[in-house]
Each structure stands twice: as C-alpha cells, then as structure tokens.
Structure 1
C-alpha cells in the first residue's frame, strides 16, 4: 500500500497543504518545529483515528478553527481509494470514502494501514502499563476494525461502573440500590472485558515470535526478546501497576479460555474484589488494569534494559507490528505504509543501518529528519524540504 496524494486543511500548523507522494522512500527534511511531523501524523491519524503525540483531537485543529480535514488517495495493488476525515472540535468526527455520503469516522478504519515509529515509542518500554495497552489496542483496531467497537464498549461500561463505585464511596454506605445496579454493570463489564481480553491475548500470541525476530535482527542476538500478558484476573494490581494480591491463586494461563469462560472469571473476580472496589471507588479488575511485560532474557526490559536495548525493544515492537500486518494479508500491495518520524537522530550508527536495511524493502517508507545526513543511504530516496507552512520537492 502507498499514499499517492495527501491534503491537509487547518490541520496543526497548515492552513492548506497538498503533497503528491510516490512509492519507495521519501524523506521530509527541515528544522525542528516547522511541521515535518504534522504531515506524517495526519497520515497516521487516518489509519488509527488517533495521534501518536496527543491523547485528544483538539490540538490537531489549527488554532482558531472549528475543524480540520485530512484527505488522502491510497493505492493498494490495482485498487485506488480516496478517504477524507473531518476532525471536529466538540462533536463527532466524520469520514467520506470515495466521495460518498459522510459516515462515522470508525467506518474508515482499515482503509489506510500504517506502522509509525517515533521517539515517543520509548514509552512503550519505559512508560507505565497504559502505553503498552494502547499499543496493543491500536494495533488490534488497525488489524480488525470491528474491535474499535469492542474497545469503546468496554471504555463506556468502565466509565459507568467507576461512576457508580465513586458514588457509593462518597455516600459512605453501600446500599441495596448500589448493589443491584453494580450487579448489572458487572455483567456488562464482564462480557465487554472478556471480548477485549480475548482479542488482546490472540494478538499478543501473533506478535511474540515477531518481537523475537525483530530484536534479533536489530542487535547482535545475545539476548532473547519476548512479551507476556499479565491479567488482573490473575493478579490484582495496585494503582501504580505493581502486583498487590492474587485474585486467582493458581494464576493459570488464560490463553486457552473462551470468551464465555473469561466472562465467568470476571464475574468471580468482581465478587471477590467488591469490598476493595467500593472502598477505593474504582474498578480494580479488568483489561484497563492489565500489563504487557516486555522481557529481555530472564529480566523485564523496564528497569533493566540499557538505553540502547530500550530503543531496540521499542523498534522491535513496531517492526513486529509490521510483520503481523504482512502475515495478516499476503496479497500484493497490502503491506502497510512505514512512517519513521525523527527516529534516526535518536539511534547510533549501527542501529540506524540495521533498521534502514530492514524497512527499505517496504512499498512506501516516509521518513522525517532535521538533518538529511542522519538518514542512512539505504533510505535516501526522494527528498521534500519542509519550511514554515510549505513544502518543496528537491529535484
């Protein structure tokens, strides 16, 4: 897959920007702060309906405007698709596909597929569990768009259940009315949580061998990289994400359980943790409390990996995502667009070259760099110079 045209209207720093793109490598070059990342961020937004830089859509809209528009023309084999995303302040976003009538934004998921590398990826290794959960969920939605509903259903139920628990805590008394309402939300959350957990477990099983492969390709192979899922069904986590006490004393493997079996486990866990949840006023069990533990050899990467190892692990997670996309759809032109946003400046020469050699065979690679010399020769393709509010192609 590749983008052959990208247009931005009132997106970030651009009032209007139109760029013709090509297969192969394209390097956006220019001083920091002039809008290189804004360009690739827009394409990444079309793929995931979220930004890798901010958690809400508001900052994506140029200051003083009510909405932003991102339009792209994508080529997948012989098929061309035009997709348009309207990002609105304070109301729902809308999409158009091939100039048809507007649809919900999430109906456009899956049309554009990207894998984006950025300096923020260090948080996947060094950050709190929410960074790794978001990584899994974003990839899940990109691979299987209907899981956008799985994710949003769980978030909606969690919000309602937390509101009830907070209300019960504030009242100082857990009444029969609280209990009966909590029983209803328990059932909804158990079902929604089981679906999300089952999807995450399946995805991590696909990712694991690719994480090991990518880390080995990026390094000297002296350490084996891996990942394991820690569910709150097995361990209740404290507010900072550390293990607190066992819910399931056996802490058994959940990977073989069906959605119905996981639902039953959640109902049991809610019952056993009810007193603590009411006392704290929040939900202590569920996918929102889970952790993806990244491993280097026998030790967790977080807290034990060197700076170079941390970068290699972060890059391996993104490369593993790319390999999963390739395995998911092997038809010609189905590979995702690779975006490397200001990554090479952060890497030593050895890792720069290894990463460049791995990604150079992708159908389209978009790179941003403040200094062109930071980009290895393997990816020195077409150059687009970025100035304040404008771009120019270096012929």
Structure 2
C-alpha cells in the first residue's frame, strides 16, 4: 500500500499543493514552521480522520478559509482508490470515495492505513491513559473499520449517561429509571469494545517484546498488558464482558450518582507498559522510554502487516529525538517498507539507510531536489 498523490486545499499553511509520491522512501526537509509536518499530518488524517498533533479540526483549516480539503490517491495491490475529506470546523465533515459521496465520513476508514512515529509518541509511555487508549482504539479501527461505529456509539451513550448523572439530584424518579436503559447500552457497546481491545493486546504483546529487543540495547523484556477497572476474570467474549460491566455498573451506581460521572467502562481503562518487573512510566530512563514508544509503534506496524496490506510508515521529526544507536536501529528496521514518509529539520538528521526522493519545504512550498 502507498499513497501516489496528495492534494491539499487550504490545509494548515497550504493554500494549495499537488504532490506526487512514490513507493520507497520520501524525505521532507525544512526548518520548523515551514509546513513539512503538515504534509504527513494530512496523510495521517486520511487514514484516521484525526490529527496526531491537535484534538480538534479547527487548526487544520488555513487562516482566513472556511474549510480545507485533503485528497489522497491510494494504491493497494495495483488498484487505485481516491479519498477526499472536506474539513469544516463546527459542522460535520464530508467525504468522498472515488469521487462518490459516502453517507458517513467514517466509511472511508480502512482504505488507507498508516503507522506514524512522532515526538508526541513519548506520551504513550509518560502520558495519561487517554493517550494509550487512543492509540489502541485507532489500531482497532485500522484493523476492523466497523469498530469506528462502535466507538462513536459508546462515546455518545457515555455523554448522555454523564449528563443524566450530573443532573441526578434534580431529576425525577422516572428520569433516574432511564439509567437502567443507558446502563444496558453502555454495557453492550463497552463489552464489544473491550473484547476487541483485549484480543488486540494479546496479539500485540509478543510483537512489542520483539520490537523492543530490536530497537534497544537493554536486556529487559518489554510487556504491554490491559488494565481494566472491572474484575474481568476469564471473560473474553463481548457478551460475557457486557455481563461483567453490567454487574460493575450496579455496584458503583451510588458512587456515580454522588460524583455525577460514569466510573465504569472502557473509558476508564489503561494499557500498562512494563520493562522487566517495573512499569515503564516513572521507572524507565528517557532512552528506554523512547525505545518502548518505538516498540509499540513497530508492533502495531507488524500487526497490520500480518493482517494483510502493509501500511504507510510516517516518521515525523523522530530521528532528532533519538541517540545515534536507536536512530540507526530504527532506520534499518523500516527501510524496506513499501512506503516511508520522513520529515526532518536538516538532512543530517536522516540516517543513510533511508535514501530516496527528497523534497525541500519552505514557506508553504514543496520542491523536489533529489
């Protein structure tokens, strides 16, 4: 899989750009603030309908414009698919696939798959649980696009339930009885989401251990485990997990009514990243934390490759953050990917293993130089 052409209109600092791309390695070199990361951010948006840099779409639209358009020509097994996303902050985005409108923007998910490495990845180890949940859920959706609907429905139910809990003190007895209905929806959707998460973590674990051994000179074994706020026992199916969530919701209802927030469900869970016997967060050195973050991303890449259809690899300013040994190890591991998109502030940041097409990015213009 690779992206053969990227087209941007009023995206970030680009009024318009038409960028042919090729399989293999493509490097974008430019000083900070010139727009190189904006290019790979647009590619990632086509794959995930989200940015790795900002939580909402507002900053993606060029100053003075009301909308932006991102198009990508994706080639997989010799067949082309054209994705187009129209981003309009404050309104629902619209999407087209092969120039035909789709009923829901999420219907384009799965056409393009990416794995992105960026300086923000250090938050996978050192950051809050929501960063790790987002990583896991984006991986679920890349593997099984229909789970995007499950995830959105769960978040909708969660918002509605939280609204009811916040007003519980003023709510009538009849209104409070509707909590039972929301509990049933939350448990059903949460059970499905939780089952997918647990299955993914199970197959991801050996891949994380393998990737960490490749990128780090250290001898500790890396692990990734799922940590749920609910006692799951040996439940693994969506139905069995829904039953566990239902029981937990009943047990915690009084606490939830008192605090006015949902305390049970996948939105409260976390991924535990460990090195040897200790959690990476709080114990790992800076270099070990980077190795763990890289291992998690590389494991996701290996998992998607195993599912069929090698994803596009994006390395956004990541080499400047690594020491020479980790830089060389990572470059060697990814050099053979079908398509690798690299950004760097200076050419010297790019390891020699990653030779290919080179572009200079300056003041919102992209110029091929090699």
TM-score normalised by the chain length of structure 1: 0.92
CA distance in 1, matches of 2:84, 2:176: 46
Partner of 2:126: 126
Q: CA deviation at 1:215?
A: 0.2
Superposition pairs for residues 1-395 of structure 1, below 5 Å? Answer: 1-169=1-169, 171=170, 175-234=172-231, 252-254=233-235, 257-329=236-308, 334-395=309-370
CA distance in 1, matches of 2:144, 2:207: 19
**What are structure 2's unaligned runs of at least 5 residues?**
none
CA distance in 2, matches of 1:221, 1:327: 27
**What are structure 1's unaligned runs of at least 5 residues?**
235-250
Q: CA deviation at 1:221?
A: 4.7
> Residue 153 of structure 2 contacts residue 189 of structure 2 at CA under 8 Å; is this kept in 1?
yes
Tell me which stretches of 4 or more aligned residues in structure 1 moved more than 4 Å.
none
Superimposed CA distance per residue, residues 280-326 of structure 1 (whole angstroms, 9 cap, x where no aligned partner): 00001100000110010010000000000000000111101100011
Distance change (3 Å), C-alpha of 1:362 and 1:202: same
181-190 vs 344-353, which deviates more?
181-190
Partner of 1:246: none
Q: CA deviation at 1:127?
A: 0.4
> Residue 168 of structure 2 contacts residue 176 of structure 2 at CA under 8 Å; is this kept in 1?
no
SS of the counterpart of 1:379? Answer: coil
SS of the counterpart of 2:281? Answer: coil
Superimposed CA distance per residue, residues 20-62 of structure 1 (whole angstroms, 9 cap, x where no aligned partner): 1111111100101110000000000000001000111111111
> Residue 157 of structure 2 contacts residue 185 of structure 2 at CA under 8 Å; is this kept in 1?
yes
SS of the counterpart of 1:285? Answer: coil
RMSD: 1.2
Superimposed CA distance per residue, residues 259-284 of structure 1 (whole angstroms, 9 cap, x where no aligned partner): 11111111111111011101100001
CA distance in 2, matches of 1:22, 1:260: 45
TM-score normalised by the chain length of structure 2: 0.98
CA distance in 2, matches of 1:118, 1:389: 21
Aligned residue pair count? 370
Q: CA deviation at 1:175?
A: 4.9
Q: CA deviation at 1:179?
A: 3.1
CA distance in 1, matches of 2:246, 2:71: 45
SS of the counterpart of 1:378? Answer: coil
Superimposed CA distance per residue, residues 101-122 of structure 1 (whole angstroms, 9 cap, x where no aligned partner): 3442111001111100000000
CA distance in 1, matches of 2:101, 2:36: 31
SS of the counterpart of 2:121? Answer: helix
CA distance in 1, matches of 2:358, 2:72: 20
